[in-house]
Structure 1
Amino acid sequence: MARTTSFSATALLTTGSLLLSGCSLFGDGDDPPPVEEEFPYTREGRIFQDTGQDEVLRFSITGLERTPDHTVMYYEVDYPDGFEGSNRNLSMPHTLVDPMTGQVFREYLDGDGLKYGSVSPNDDGLYPVHDGVTNEYRRYFPPIPEDVEQVTFVGSGLGAMTGIPLQDVDEERPDPENPNGPQHLSPDDPPSGGENLTFENRPPDDDAEADQGWVESFVDSDIASITRDGTTETISLHSDVMFEFDESELTADAEEVVRQAAGSLTSNVDPDNSEITVIGHTDGKGTDAYNQNLSEERAETVRTLLVEELDDNYTYVVEGRGSTEPVAVEGGPDDEEARARNRRVEFSYEVSASGDQEEEDEDGLGVAQRTVTWPAPFTDDNGDVVATEEHDDVQLDVYPLRRDGAYVIATVALTNNSDEPVIPDIGADGETQAGGPEQFSSGSLGGLQLLDPDTDLVRYVAQMTLGDDRSTGFAEEVHELQPGNTYDLVAVFPGPPADIEELTLRAGPFGELPEIPIEE
């Protein structure tokens, strides 16, 4: 069982790496579990293909080397039930994630979007596949910080492969000798004698670029929400809790809310960068000038009360942004809820890197509680099904949740019980997502949420932010389900406190599935 410690939204980052020194993070001075290299790490299951030939894939990571210049992943692919021809796996791009800090690393690409490493022998970037033949591949990622020992891999189409250890080497493996891929392009000409299919290697050059970023998470409650993106956190207080309509004076209940926010800020704000930006927002009703003025007045009112609650070690910046930065789309069927969410006052700040907090601050906001466990060990299966529902001839099976660093992984299986291909809708159109932030409800699994029924805290599917205002859901996309086929899919959420042992899964049209256990 993983050793855990709860703390209020403290990401414990220093130059992108988690501080593991001292005993405050995981308690009792325990060292992390030993990392044992047991390559290959193999998972097997059905994947989505662009051809509709959604066969069972066996995916094996045979090495993950950290050189002075790159991170190099070696892997093998074969189809146990048989498959021939060229194919394109429709899973998300190959991605390595440090589950402790949330750093994200993707493969190096050239200017044409082609991957470095194993070179396709076809002009279309696809690779030949032969029945009973294993293909060997190599891919390059940016250097991963030296103190990261294990990562989680996603992108095979087979869910999250956790606990993959990094191997420190001076030089990567030699290139394949006499790669035979170009000689076996035709399905009628497979390699003989159990020979694997290999390809020419192309290491990254000066034109290589790779997406890097952070996992961004969102936790919501009736009075506040918190967003975490790298080293920046934003606590958002819902204005309807703080102010009467069109007013900038605090309500009677607002003082308690600000006091709770102050408790979280005391634990969270980096003492070496103690600036807190207080930002007011309005909905889209009213003129731009009126909204700008109201947002500034509300931000200043909250700052005044916050100063009374905190000591003199903080500096404050007050901003009003009117209705220019909505988090929910107004004008739709849930317009009232969307406008209510857009009316808010935010505290934005850099997170603490001290790691000194040893106990959870019970006076803080519940949304700000966060737990970091050790990286989840690798497993080649999802465990036993713990809940099942059916909607429009599609069956949803749910497996236990798994803690992985600062996150929790939800794995579900979708089975098409009809006689025709179908694309199920698990989007965010149901009442439980009304007014929710658009970014965290996007994607075909955007309707999934984790609810703590004791506190009513809601955890949304995390996002991966990749720079240039680009982001993508930290979840597999659902494509066309072929008749009779079952597909495993994952969605990643911010992890709940250590004492939470089960959560309710909101699954769009499949409804709410209670008491989904969390495995350490």
Structure 2
Amino acid sequence: MPTRALGATSLVIALSLALSSCGLIRDLDPEHTQEEPAAEEPTQEVSAEDVELPFVRQGRMFVEGGNDVAVEISVKALENNGEYLMLDISRNILEYITGEDVTYAGAPLRLVDPVSGEVLLPITSEEHGEPYGSYFIEGSELTPVHEEIPSPIRRYFPAPSEDVEFLTLTGATAGHVPGIPVSYVDEFTDLPEPDVHDYIDPETWLMDNELPEELVYPETPPEPGLDTTGSVQSMESFVDTTTASTTRAGDREVIALHADNMFAFDEAEPTDEAAGTIREAAQSLRENLVEGAEITIIGHTDGKGADDYNQTLSRERAEAVRELLEEELGTGFTLTTEGRGSDELLAQEGGNDDEQARARNRRVEFSYEVPMGQTGSEEGGSGLDAAKRHVGAPAPYYEELDPFTTVTHNDLDLNVYPMVRDGAYLFQVVGFQNSTLSDLEADLDGDEASLPGSPQQYTEGTMGGFRLEEPDSGIIRYVIRIRTAEGEYEDFADQILTLSPGEEYLALSVFPAPGPEVEEMTLYAGAFGEIPAVPVR
């Protein structure tokens, strides 16, 4: 490889990779050839000690201000020293990047415990705002670009709350990489050689020697005792039926009974049908909780009417439900009630789906905590279908999947891949492909993208309109939301940006898993419409 200058003539690229959280400084080379290294075959075994790395993924990287490029990510190691995780990966840019002031705009890097739903983010230094781990100039987001030369990168994460054998990697063009074995160590593995600074001067950005086949960047590991709560998030799921819905986030679960099925208009006296619904809810609570648990019963109204009236009605309905629930559960649980009127609307009222939105907001909730390690009810219970938790083993690593089908909307092809059951979740990979000869904006909006009266926070984002339906039961499963440490939400679905012609851009969306007997699901893919019988691996 010829010697390259990295000085004033270079293109400066502020490429904040979620993977490396590093900007890129261009190393100019008029010649470019692409050689795609072959992925190694991993061993898929139940024990983490027997699984061989690396795991390899290829995808296209969104690059604003320049050309999108193919990137290969190799997962080389994941070590746990009891306080932190060290992720050792390698990034190989397979195509030549052009453009100035280029910015990466893809999904952030995440490690996920697919059983508990805990989400871990790279730990960031308070001193300079960059993640702990690999750097070229410490505290700077800038790093050189090396096409077709793998650049090993380390990132540090909080250790998961529970000891786990496998974690799942998502984001940063890696897509869905399940079954990464966790190695428990006393000390993290030392960096190998050679150091990138043996070849590139960080003061002048000039290359002194021909680059080797693989580079190593220096790193700053986190010091012991850091507060990492801001790097720990939880997945929030939403499962819906005509009778009830269930929201889960971390160790908090909320079963919401649709009030219109239980009360007449403006009434607080339960209907005859309400007793059956309460009986099913009580069975779900027995299956989900240990005796002695605290359950808060919360009444809600829609936005119509005076605040005082709504507050009174919601409290009276909560009290009526408590009396019925106590008859079913007995005295083994602590039951408290609250009325919140119209203070916490789930669906936005006043739109074309106003009637359905108001019906969604009229509800009575059961709120309680479940230990993170508890896997839920046995199959075939007689409780509410929406309240059943389905937690399987972490998925093993897989190299690739073939598309199940392709659908088209406004010159945009959607390649739908089989869903992968991973712990308590389904990971759905789709491929967006521009069939025109010019750049194309992905337009996935439209009234058909969501059901009337859907909760607003589960229908936002590019792929927020995606949802799953079980063919036999009709249960609806929405895209997972991630709750940040600040209490804000983002959907666990990749954002789709401007698409270049011809190339496929893989994107990931995540849903709560159905029971193990479900082998296929109907995918409602926003503007692409209904896609039946998508297989579940």
Cα displacement string for residues 99-119 of structure 1 (whole angstroms, at most 9, x for unaligned residues): 111111111012353111112
Question: For residues 91-102 of structure 1, what are the structure 2 equivalents within 5 Å?
Answer: 91-102=106-117
**Which of 104, 121, 125 matches 1:89?**
104
5+ residue gaps, structure 1: 1-31
Corresponding position: 1:240 with 2:260? yes
- Alpha-carbon deviation of 1:180? 1.8
Corresponding position: 1:183 with 2:183? no
Q: Which region of structure 1 is more displaced relative to structure 2, 390-399 or 440-449? A: 440-449
Aligned residues: CA RMSD: 2.5
Letter in 2 for 1:224: A
Corresponding position: 1:107 with 2:117? no
Which has the bigger relative contact order, CA under 8 A and spacing at least 6? 1
Residue identity (%): 40
Distance 2:472 2:121 in 1: 38
Distance 1:251 1:208 in 2: 51
Q: Which region of structure 1 is more displaced relative to structure 2, 406-415 or 425-434? A: 425-434
> Which residue matches 1:412?
430
Distance 2:413 2:348 in 1: 31
Cα displacement string for residues 95-136 of structure 1 (whole angstroms, at most 9, x for unaligned residues): 111111111111101235311111243986132112222111
Cα displacement string for residues 184-241 of structure 1 (whole angstroms, at most 9, x for unaligned residues): 6899959625342332211224777442022111100111100111111110011111
Question: For residues 480-491 of structure 1, what are the structure 2 equivalents within 5 Å?
Answer: 480-491=498-509
Distance 1:176 1:235 in 2: 52
Please state whether the residue corresponding to 1:45 is helix, strand or coil: strand
Number of residue pairs the alignment of both structures matches:
486
Assess, with a 3 A threshold, how the Cα gap between structure 1 residues 451 and 365 changes in structure 2: closer, same or farther: same
Letter in 2 for 1:269: L
**Which of 288, 293, 297 matches 1:278?**
297
Assess, with a 3 A threshold, how the Cα gap between structure 1 residues 365 and 428 changes in structure 2: closer, same or farther: farther
Please state whether the residue corresponding to 2:121 is helix, strand or coil: strand
> Which residue matches 1:57?
71
> Which residue matches 1:315?
334
State whether residues 296 and 335 of structure 2, in contact with CA within 8 Å, keep that contact through their aligned partners in structure 1.
yes
- Alpha-carbon deviation of 1:436? 1.1
- Alpha-carbon deviation of 1:34? 2.2
**Which of 201, 210, 213 matches 2:233?**
213
Please state whether the residue corresponding to 2:311 is helix, strand or coil: helix
**Which of 113, 132, 144 matches 2:160?**
144
Please state whether the residue corresponding to 2:71 is helix, strand or coil: strand
Question: For residues 316-331 of structure 1, what are the structure 2 equivalents within 5 Å?
Answer: 316-331=335-350
Letter in 1 for 2:116: T
State whether residues 347 and 456 of structure 2, in contact with CA within 8 Å, keep that contact through their aligned partners in structure 1.
yes
Calculate the TM-score normalised by the size of structure 2: 0.85
Please state whether the residue corresponding to 1:138 is helix, strand or coil: strand
Letter in 1 for 2:150: T
**Which of 74, 86, 91 matches 1:77?**
91
Letter in 2 for 1:71: L
State whether residues 522 and 532 of structure 2, in contact with CA within 8 Å, keep that contact through their aligned partners in structure 1.
yes
Distance 1:395 1:184 in 2: 45
State whether residues 398 and 412 of structure 1, in contact with CA within 8 Å, keep that contact through their aligned partners in structure 2.
yes
Distance 1:188 1:419 in 2: 38
5+ residue gaps, structure 2: 1-44
Question: For residues 57-456 of structure 1, what are the structure 2 equivalents within 5 Å?
Answer: 57-83=71-97, 88-111=103-126, 112-121=128-137, 125-145=141-161, 147-175=163-191, 179-180=195-196, 183=200, 189=207, 192-205=210-223, 209=228, 210-271=230-291, 273-351=292-370, 359-381=378-400, 383-427=401-445, 429-430=447-448, 432-456=450-474
Cα displacement string for residues 5-54 of structure 1 (whole angstroms, at most 9, x for unaligned residues): xxxxxxxxxxxxxxxxxxxxxxxxxxx92222311111012121233421
Distance 2:133 2:509 in 1: 28
**Which of 51, 57, 60 matches 1:37?**
51
Distance 2:54 2:90 in 1: 9
Calculate the TM-score normalised by the size of structure 1: 0.88
- Alpha-carbon deviation of 1:425? 2.9
Q: Which has the larger radius of gyration?
A: 2
- Alpha-carbon deviation of 1:465? 1.4
State whether residues 429 and 447 of structure 1, in contact with CA within 8 Å, keep that contact through their aligned partners in structure 2.
no
Question: For residues 5-20 of structure 1, what are the structure 2 equivalents within 5 Å?
Answer: none
Distance 1:286 1:80 in 2: 61
Cα displacement string for residues 248-278 of structure 1 (whole angstroms, at most 9, x for unaligned residues): 122232221111111111111233x511110
